[in-house]
Structure 1
């Protein structure tokens, strides 16, 4: 039942995710990352497929820094512009010129107005002055000359529309609309119509064969990917500068427009189109097209100053469509495109003209939103079913296959000059896979997290991970089982702590406990608790360990071995050496979550646990670092041991044999084996009250390698010589303290 509910929840989350993306596709909500992904996909594909090479049909006449330095700041006099236009057509034989600038103010730089004022005032009586003025006026009327130049040649002026929210000023004279408002039938532009404009002087507009708006359009991220070729204003549609320039270049015939009706799966769609110069261009529903950028530097840039001076190469201008614009930073006509963050705005018009000439203009087909909505819903449902039925591995393969199909569809549409947004269905697949995989992971690891929460503070992370694979096998309920327990303690800790200030003492303890805990966990031990400087650990719970005794003994040996390095670090900081005693016992113990209603702890209890604690306490009596019991020796086939004594600890009547671990049997030095054997023989003679033989053996051992252990037995022998043991003495040493 729980599995069914989990699957239902997983399916519900998947459906909600798909519906959110679908709501974005139909415009009910806006998901900004989706738009950024769409832009990234478009840019990547555009850059990958953009054609390279130089275009010999379009050139850019650049108002660059060199021109400004040579001819003065912009705007230049109309006399200069007239000469420039005449030079372009008469010397260089260009096909047409489009102005990416606007001429909104009259040119008074010739001084003609001043001369006329003098003729009507101070020099009103001078016939010679009036005669000279009549002869000079045609040459000094720069605007009239510029208008004549415009009227005689195929040129398109530029102007701009003012978008809604930016005022409603109307300056200059707009050309008549190129198309009536009903040109595209029931289609409406996707953006609100402009509320004003900034156009050219009436004389220029009336003289010119064409004019087009040069407004740029940017996406949410500020990048120019699409441009309007037509814009609705008042009574009709107006052409963009690129379309207007192309129209005059091909003879100036009127532009045409209309809509094509398409039937896709029984549904009717309307596709608008625009025709200029005999070239039909498909449009998106809002009158935009995608700019067909080319790679590299396809259009030559020629300095306006060089053209005026006659220095520009003829072959770069002859029979070309020329666009007059600026790359000078001070004139602020730089845009962000998929290819550059500082792209001359005039070049965007050049790419549009080249695209119209090549027939490579791309538009978004009217069925694009329906197609991607269907892809989101159908592919989302399909992938969800696969993930629920077959899991993440098959789901990953299915996701990759479906993504490949979507990319293939995107490429196929691109090859037909359609831009069909595919980021939404692609992100649907990726998001569904990630969501379902994450859900499956969290659902599958819920019990694992519970195990980690319960046992993570006791066992090392790798054990917690192992336990989480089968959480039902582990419990914190009390149980009785054979286990090994270890106690360790710093010897003389009270004196040790008095030598250090509290802050340094805390550092010492932290370093010591961290090192020792790491060793316990390396051998899969469970930390029970810290008692001041003491450590209590156990093995064979909660994880089953058949070799728990061996692991406990090796842990004790490694803890003693680690002290050498640790003490070197302490000595370098002026801290005293640390010495520890370790006791290990194996036996039947109770383990589980024990405590009170106020606090619980996973711990072990029982006589075997208490004995392990006693062993740690008496290690210092024998001058050894580790003591283990007979039961531990019997359960550990890996290590070699030396019997140290038979003792009765406080609170116990049954004697216990205690041993010192010598190390792994494999690789144990012969001298260590020999010394252990000789000591055990001496200990046997001691228990048999053969004082002389025991003493001789112990002194021989002490002579080779002095040990506190040997001295203790020599002292006992000396004591028994003076005070012989009772007749029923069994050789067991009795401890009356813990």
Structure 2
């Protein structure tokens, strides 16, 4: 792994750590919670159908009902209300979002006093005492109205019991799961410390009870997003008002906790509640997300006074309906904050839950939600670390935008298509935080390094290599090191004599034009300009960036440099400048490269025996009349499909060992068949020459020189054979020619 990639990975890991600590609640960040809640609320509002559910109706103790009948209502009015709903309107089930905690016995107490003090001696009154008591027993009348009817009586659990407060008041229905059975589950039920219920006689008369409090709202910034369907008290487990009402409406089927896999009965594996034919998704605390249908009063509201008086405009609206009785009167304090409205009737929260359970519209937030979030963050961190390490800033920004779009798209698709709550706000913030961290690092740290690299190498290497160097600064070293590289020398022949005929301005213009073209060729082939010495160009391949094809790139550059000189002929002729001819020497091998010089001036350059040989080869191009000469190692490094003319086996000044030198011709499959035949004949002629078969060699070289493709090398060897006939070489001669000059 490169240093740049490692740094980018560390940046992603640092940001990831903060968000993982938040997701695991080891370092909760309220701002992130607010953002995630905001994106959840936005999804609720944007996808709410906004339509009524005719199966669920709210009977409302509204301001008009209170004004018409006063408050509090005596229990006999509630009894009449219940009788009206079932007998006159034929509702299916009724849920009371009200607690009847105090006895309604004021009339009975008055009758007791009157009967004892005023009417005890009146026989007619004494004989009617039982009937009168029954008439004045409002709680009894209400209890009778509840009895044998599918009515759910509401109550509330207390999460804490304050000092001096009674832990329990009123009655409590039988639990859904008894304490002994509840021990079989490793579920994180919300545990209550007390409860406040209706009078015991009312509780006993009701078919079922259900709590309507929501202790989870406090942890969800007071907003009713999710509501527990079960709570635990004193070891036993009790159902919510909405769950009990749905159960009654379905004929009182059993309620089962469904786990995946079934044998692991823990919160992490809790998937849903099964209520008869219904499947209700829940989270690890057995809470369901409220599937709001729309804003306040999306459901049908009927004033309680109209039901009480039998003045409902459309009686069929209540036929077979599931009814919730609650209040929207401001003074009775049953208003809640919800995603769809900050002032929302509490009774309508239960209505939305009932409707959602019947429709199967409740969305699931899996118990492993935090795990999903962590996995998303890890994948995003790795992707952006890779992008910012390998791509440009613009491309990385586009990748980041695609990631954000992907997060939003996935969350909306799972929300609408699978009723699944995916993390949205936190992953988006995580992505943007990562992008900001990487951009700041790139701007303040990497860009400074890039400017330094550009300063060092911009004058030597082509712009694309500078970009690569900036992208991989770990590959750059100014210190001296030994590398396998290729080096090229190019020099203008007879430049001194030509320059004598030009004034200084013309000479400068000509050499600048020439060197510009030559430099462009070197850089086009990924070469590094080492230096200019007058008309001489020195370049190398394999540093500062390594190049596995350094020999091929150097040879291609040398051959194109020859062509580029000829491309200048017309321009030079128009400007009155002489035609230039260059010789190019190329050699490969191990050489030292780095910053070298003195304390006064340093230069990034190469040194070594392989470099010196390249310089000698450039000087030999004129001797053999060739444009480009390469050494044996360069020839060996080129692809096998390349053709060469073996020029000679020479010992150059400064060396003792002979070296074979070659003229590169290009890929074999691109050569003229006649030229390929000449190359083969030339190899044969060289073998004859080195075998001292002078006559046969001379004939072969002569025939080649007289052929359609003559070459100066042929004439050179004819002259050399003539000289060797007169002065034969020593017995150990192997065809080597020694040069005494550079």
Q: TM-score range by the shorter chain?
A: 0.5 to 0.7
For 2:136 and 2:359, locate their aligned partners in 1 and report how far apart those are by CA, in whole Å. Answer: 43
1:392 Cα deviation after fit:
2.2
User: Given the alignment, which residue of 129, 135, 159 partners 1:139?
Assistant: 135
1:232 Cα deviation after fit:
1.1
The question of whether the paired residues in 1 share the 8 Å contact of 2:157 and 2:211 is answered with yes
Would the alpha carbon gap of residues 57 and 268 (structure 1) be closer, same or farther in structure 2, given more than 3 Å must change?
closer
**1:435 pairs with 2:437:** yes
Would the alpha carbon gap of residues 185 and 371 (structure 1) be closer, same or farther in structure 2, given more than 3 Å must change?
farther
For 1:432 and 1:253, locate their aligned partners in 2 and report how far apart those are by CA, in whole Å. Answer: 51
Match of 1:120, SS state, is: helix
Q: Match for residue 44 of structure 2?
A: 46
- Pairing of 1:399-418 with structure 2 (within 5 A): 399-414=400-415, 415-418=417-420
The question of whether the paired residues in 2 share the 8 Å contact of 1:103 and 1:201 is answered with yes
Q: Match for residue 188 of structure 2?
A: 189
- Pairing of 1:63-462 with structure 2 (within 5 A): 63-74=61-72, 76-109=73-106, 111-164=107-160, 166=162, 169-181=167-179, 182-183=181-182, 185-189=184-188, 191=190, 193-216=191-214, 217-218=216-217, 219-261=219-261, 270-296=269-295, 297-312=297-312, 313-414=314-415, 415-443=417-445
Would the alpha carbon gap of residues 197 and 165 (structure 1) be closer, same or farther in structure 2, given more than 3 Å must change?
closer
The question of whether the paired residues in 2 share the 8 Å contact of 1:271 and 1:283 is answered with yes
For 1:278 and 1:140, locate their aligned partners in 2 and report how far apart those are by CA, in whole Å. Answer: 44
1:434 Cα deviation after fit:
1.3
Would the alpha carbon gap of residues 168 and 423 (structure 1) be closer, same or farther in structure 2, given more than 3 Å must change?
farther
For 2:140 and 2:267, locate their aligned partners in 1 and report how far apart those are by CA, in whole Å. Answer: 53
The question of whether the paired residues in 2 share the 8 Å contact of 1:81 and 1:146 is answered with yes
Would the alpha carbon gap of residues 246 and 184 (structure 1) be closer, same or farther in structure 2, given more than 3 Å must change?
farther
Deviations 1:497-555 (A, max 9, x none): xxxxxxxxxxxxxxxxxxxxxxxxxxxxxxxxxxxxxxxxxxxxxxxxxxxxxxxxxxx
Deviations 1:175-232 (A, max 9, x none): 11112344595432264x1111000111111111011000034144221100001111
Match of 1:232, SS state, is: strand
Would the alpha carbon gap of residues 226 and 268 (structure 1) be closer, same or farther in structure 2, given more than 3 Å must change?
closer
Please, what TM-score do these two structures have when normalized by structure 2? 0.56
Match of 1:401, SS state, is: helix
The question of whether the paired residues in 1 share the 8 Å contact of 2:171 and 2:197 is answered with yes
Would the alpha carbon gap of residues 22 and 263 (structure 1) be closer, same or farther in structure 2, given more than 3 Å must change?
farther
Would the alpha carbon gap of residues 283 and 168 (structure 1) be closer, same or farther in structure 2, given more than 3 Å must change?
farther
The question of whether the paired residues in 2 share the 8 Å contact of 1:147 and 1:207 is answered with yes
For 2:89 and 2:395, locate their aligned partners in 1 and report how far apart those are by CA, in whole Å. Answer: 66
Q: Name stretches of at least 5 consecutive residues in structure 2 with no aligned partner.
A: 452-742
Deviations 1:427-472 (A, max 9, x none): 22111011111222233677999xxxxxxxxxxxxxxxxxxxxxxx
Deviations 1:12-46 (A, max 9, x none): 33321111111111222101121111111111112
For 2:263 and 2:44, locate their aligned partners in 1 and report how far apart those are by CA, in whole Å. Answer: 28
The question of whether the paired residues in 2 share the 8 Å contact of 1:71 and 1:305 is answered with yes
For 2:382 and 2:160, locate their aligned partners in 1 and report how far apart those are by CA, in whole Å. Answer: 42
**1:21 pairs with 2:19:** yes
Please, what TM-score do these two structures have when normalized by structure 1? 0.57
1:119 Cα deviation after fit:
2.7
1:131 Cα deviation after fit:
1.3
For 2:276 and 2:121, locate their aligned partners in 1 and report how far apart those are by CA, in whole Å. Answer: 56
Would the alpha carbon gap of residues 190 and 328 (structure 1) be closer, same or farther in structure 2, given more than 3 Å must change?
same
For 2:149 and 2:268, locate their aligned partners in 1 and report how far apart those are by CA, in whole Å. Answer: 41
Q: Match for residue 609 of structure 2?
A: none
1:9 Cα deviation after fit:
5.4
